[in-house]
């Protein structure tokens, strides 16, 4: 499904709205910037336009959304997800969780499951793993690498090329 084009104001305009300019001195800690929640929400809404979404799954999972769509209160299930559902913690697409990969990629989880601390790898993922930015499958894990890098201490931050982290290769 093609995504709709999104107008993005020039960076200088966004900086201006945040009280900065391109010629402002650098921010001491470039990992942190304060911005209004409305801007964060808008950026996330624009990103959600290209996120996976399964309308049938969403409507089956959320009867209130299906009823609102039936009444004509909302234009589409996807529109609801992008404007409200995501921010309410609703799931837009069935999770693609790979139990065997997760256990293999997370030895600490495998040990915790064996010790009975978690019923399964999926149990760990929903309770703590997703909040630690652990991927539910290899594809998501590679995409989450950039998110994990954003939250790493400044001294551990990798360099970025084209918005992808550059991970140094260890010397042998």
Which residue reads 């990629």 in tokens? Answer: 105
pLDDT in tens, 63-110: 999 999 999 999 999 999 999 999 999 999 988 999 999 999 999 999
> Which stretches within the chain are classed as H helix?
11-17, 37-48, 55-61, 63-71, 77-80, 99-105, 107-114, 121-127, 138-150
What does the domain layout of the chain look like in residue ranges?
11-88, 99-166
Per-residue pLDDT band for 120 (boundaries 50, 70, 90) equals very high
Q: What does the DSSP 8-state code read for residue 31?
A: T
Reduced to 3 states, what is the DSSP secondary structure of residue 36?
A: coil
Over residues 121-166, the pLDDT tens digits come to 999 999 999 999 999 999 999 889 888 887 776 655 555 555 555 5
Token couple for 91: 């799931």
What pLDDT score does 168 carry?
A: 45
Round to whole Å and give the CA distance between 133 and 135: 6
Rounded-to-integer distance, Cα 160 and Cα 170, Å: 17
Q: Structure pTM?
A: 0.70
| 3-state DSSP assignment of residue 166 | strand
pLDDT band of 51, cuts 50, 70, 90: confident
């Amino acid at each position: 499904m093609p995504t709709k084009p999104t107008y993005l104001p020039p960076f200088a305009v966004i900086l201006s709205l945040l009280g900065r300019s391109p010629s402002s001195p650098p921010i001491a800690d470039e990992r942190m910037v304060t911005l209004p929640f409305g801007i964060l929400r808008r950026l996330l809404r624009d990103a959600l336009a290209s996120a996976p979404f399964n309308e049938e799954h969403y409507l089956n999972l959320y009867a209130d959304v299906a009823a609102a769509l039936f009444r004509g209160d909302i234009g589409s299930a996807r529109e609801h997800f992008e404007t409200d559902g995501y921010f309410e913690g609703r799931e837009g697409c069935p999770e693609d969780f790979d139990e065997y990969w997760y256990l293999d990629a997370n030895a600490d989880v495998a040990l915790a499951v064996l010790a009975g601390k978690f019923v399964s790898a999926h149990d760990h993922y929903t309770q703590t793993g997703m909040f630690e930015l652990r991927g539910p499958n290899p594809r998501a894990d590679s995409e989450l690498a950039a998110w994990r890098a954003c939250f790493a201490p400044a001294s551990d931050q990798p360099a970025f090329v084209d918005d992808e982290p550059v991970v140094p290769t260890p010397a042998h």
